[in-house]
Amino acid sequence: MLNYRHLHYFWVVTKEGGFAKAAQRLDMAVQTISAQVRELEKSLGHQLLKPAGRGVALTEAGQAAFARAEEIFQLGQGIPDEVREAASGKVARLAVGLSDGISKLAAHSLLEPVLSTPNLRLVCHEGEFEQLLSELALHHLDLVLAGQAAPRNPNLRLTSERLVNKPVEWYGPARLVGKLQRDRFPQCLNELPVLLPTGHSALRPSLDHWFETQGLRPRIVGEFEDSALMAVFAARGLGVFPVSQLGADDIGLMRGIRLLGASDGVKEEIHAIRSRRGQHHPLVQKVMAGA
């Protein structure tokens, strides 16, 4: 087991730039801190610090250790406030996993019913589908939004419900989207610069199939995992892009973005996946009811 007290001494030494300043900050003897850091290096099997002038510098191994220690102790500094808030009963916490490839604009619309909750603490994690399901099964997440349903696995005890099955529309900046382009949609996609979701998205295969059936060979100038980022680049004039009708309300808030047309037969699905405990979470229930 890693000795976190030794790790903390190493972290402070690195932050302060030397053992003397660290000893002053911790109100300890320099020799004691030095010995504890050596014990950490011994347990890890690598030198973490090396002399540098009057202070110390990180080795390559030390840089890796310090990066992780920085995360650990920064998180630790927030524990007292979080415990105090939890004990007061004032915080309404909702931890949501967003699967790679789903429209973040659509996800925002689905979560909108809870955004006005007093003392809300919304935590959003983005990651691979399987990893998010594991986190959900371990109750680290309350809800997962994904482009597919959870596989049948009695060990995970998860339930899925399709929340979204919305048509996909195309938008673009005003300088690219005019009456001529709208009248010639979708053939105009052969001429316009096109932005698309990456292959991580469950929507991408449907779009590729639609291109094929329409005889389209679009000039793809950008691919994005995050639909909101794709919309930002489009607003800056990079190209036209697809988004489900659920995310269209957020698109309307962006200046200069205009509707180009709709992809007939192409729809985006988003599924809500919950554990048994998550089914009783009041904010999860509110998301489900709003959808």
Please tell me the predicted confidence (pLDDT) of residue 238.
95
Please tell me the predicted confidence (pLDDT) of residue 69.
93
Please tell me the predicted confidence (pLDDT) of residue 177.
94
d(CA 3, CA 90): 34
Determine the 3-state secondary structure of 289 from DSSP: helix
Please tell me the predicted confidence (pLDDT) of residue 251.
74
Q: Computed from CA positions of residues 187, 191, 195, 199, in that sequence, does the dihedral angle turn out positive or negative?
A: positive
Please tell me the predicted confidence (pLDDT) of residue 49.
95
Please tell me the predicted confidence (pLDDT) of residue 86.
67
Q: Which domains occur in the chain, in start order?
A: 4-77 (1.10.10.10), 90-164+271-290 (3.40.190.10), 165-268 (3.40.190.10)
Query: Which residues of the chain fall below pLDDT 70?
Result: 85-86, 88-89, 154-155, 252-253
Please tell me the predicted confidence (pLDDT) of residue 8.
95
Please tell me the predicted confidence (pLDDT) of residue 1.
79
Please tell me the predicted confidence (pLDDT) of residue 87.
72
- What's this model's pTM, rounded to 2 decimal places? 0.61
Q: Provide the 8-state DSSP code for 112.
A: G
Cβ contacts of 211 within 8 Å, gap of 6 or more: 189, 217, 218
Longest dimension (CA), the chain: 79
Identify the CA nearest to 202 among candidates 271, 143, 134. 271
